[in-house]
Amino acid sequence: MSETLRPDRIWVNGRIRTMDVAHPWASAIAVRGGRILAVGDDASIEAIAGPGTRRVDLGGRFVMPGLIDSHTHALWGGRRDLFECFVGYGATLDQLFSAVVERARTLPHGEWIDGGPWRLEHVAQLPESPRAILDRIAPDHPVALRDATQHNMWVNSRALAIAGISRDSVDPHGGHIGRDANGEPNGALSEAATAPVRTALVVTERQNREAVAYVTKTFHALGLTGFKEPMAIESDLVAYCGADDAGALKLHVACHLVRQSPIAADFVPYETLVEWREKYARPHVRCDYAKLFLDGVAPSLTASFLDPYLPGSAPGYDPARYDADALLQISSETIADEIAALDRLGFTVKMHAVGDRAVRAGLDGIEAARRRNGATGLRHEIAHTPFVHADDLPRFRELGAVAEVSPKLWFPNAITAGQNLVLGPERTQRCHPIRSLMQAGADLVYGSDWPAAAPDVDPWIGLSGMLLRRHPKNAYPGSVGPKEAITLDEALPLFTTNGARAMGRADATGALRTGLSADFIVLDRDIFSIAPEAIAETRVEKTVFEGETVHDG
């Protein structure tokens, strides 16, 4: 063999799960120039090594492809951890407000206090309006506290004034301004009503640069080598591309460019999306993806369900007047028009859909686009898909649509109590029908949705929970839909090969076979030889990206 064809490095004596269906297991791997030269047994790989080849003995350790998170707001999560007043998803109201008081002591007057989260069950525990409480404990700062879903806020008078929200403000479509008995805003804002506050929360380029660096390090430590940014605006693209230009983005990234969202007044023009796709394309950044929002979230009664929310779910709520279509952020006709137009332009669409009516509307839109455009080869995605009507399960396969399951609500967590309050235990138990989707032939991918409704971006807890349907660390009692549990062999593609395909990177990553990028992780345990609970405690010893060790823990 020519020396120019010999590997730079070989890894031998491992237990390697390749995720290549033709050759699922191996013990050794050879890499040259960041790509896989060969995968096989120790003898075959040793045979192609040359004098200059570096040899790494894995000592029997478990190796698999790097993981892919198909829905994580990476910069948002990085900024939360670095710059916000974040108290954790299990915090009490007292802990949240104490953290605000402490932050107010250290920040110069007039600077924003941005943080959270609060949960739906906290609303009934408030002794007075959010505005009154925050005015009292942080009178010299504008304050914005997000809820656990990240769709709703509590704000004080300073924040309302900066955002221009007053008693004369009207509720925007898809949003609600809470009011007191006199009609004054009480500091509770939901969905689109939070948009003026979010606009006032300026994010600097420095913060984004630091967030990219933080996220890259964090993701590598958890074994992630690729992810989808599900809600990208131009400042996000600038940050990711800046890191890639500097050689610091050691991750595969696919960005869904926001066409429409509940926190923006206007649709981003198609011409702008096309311009961004061209301008910000990089070796590790793809921008041929788009995002639509079809509904909201269950705790704020803004998710579109076929059946009404429970009586008493919110003050003034009347199930007899429930209108599922009125909760769609955009009409069914517009959804179809949008998907068809984006499909023609070559954008793969990810649609936020929580309620089963919204999921159906998304599938209807994909079906309409197929009729109008024919088969374009684009596999549009329904994001979240926590609730899917049984009649719609087979439509994912029929339409070539991807069911993206996020956040990690397939086991009890901080959001479960809020779901029970507004949906009831029976419907909550239907959350994330992963096995049913799989049996119907749907293509599924995993997402954390971090930091929305997700305390962390840890994929190992999510993987373990898919096998158990209960919290793998017993942080919350009970289970969610135990009959929807799947096996480890069934779950791993969601985190690897399926994720790579959804990123348009199936020819580059997601598996360990000849010609693909050398993206793999070395674990501290063999996840096939331990109890499902123990998978949640998995530690990544090494992460290799394009043949380079980017994490060595």
- Using DSSP's 3-state secondary structure scheme, residue 409 falls into coil
Give me the amino acid identity at 414.
A
Global pTM exceeds 0.95: no
Contacts with 415 (C-beta within 8 Å, 6 or more apart), sequence order: 119, 148, 149, 299, 407, 409, 453
**DSSP 8-state class, residue 389:** -
Domains belonging to the chain, first-starting first, are: 7-66+515-552 (2.30.40.10), 91-200 (3.10.310.70), 205-502 (3.20.20.140)
Distance between CA atoms of 114 and 143, rounded to whole angstroms?
A: 6
**Per-residue pLDDT tens digits for 17-72:** 999 999 999 999 999 999 999 999 999 999 999 999 999 999 999 999 999 999 99
Query: At 162, which helix (H) or strand (E)?
Result: helix 157-163
Q: What is the pLDDT of residue 4?
A: 63
Distance between CA atoms of 406 and 446, rounded to whole angstroms?
A: 7
**Per-residue pLDDT tens digits for 92-143:** 999 999 999 999 999 999 999 999 999 989 999 999 999 999 999 999 999 9
The CA-CA-CA angle for residues 226, 509, 386, to 5°, reads 50
**Per-residue pLDDT tens digits for 403-441:** 999 999 999 998 899 999 999 999 999 999 999 999 999
Q: What is the pLDDT of residue 350?
A: 98
- In a 10 Å sphere around its CB, with 0-12 CB exposed, 13-18 middle and 19+ buried, how is residue 453 labelled? buried
- The model's confidence at residue 476, banded by pLDDT at 50, 70 and 90, is very high
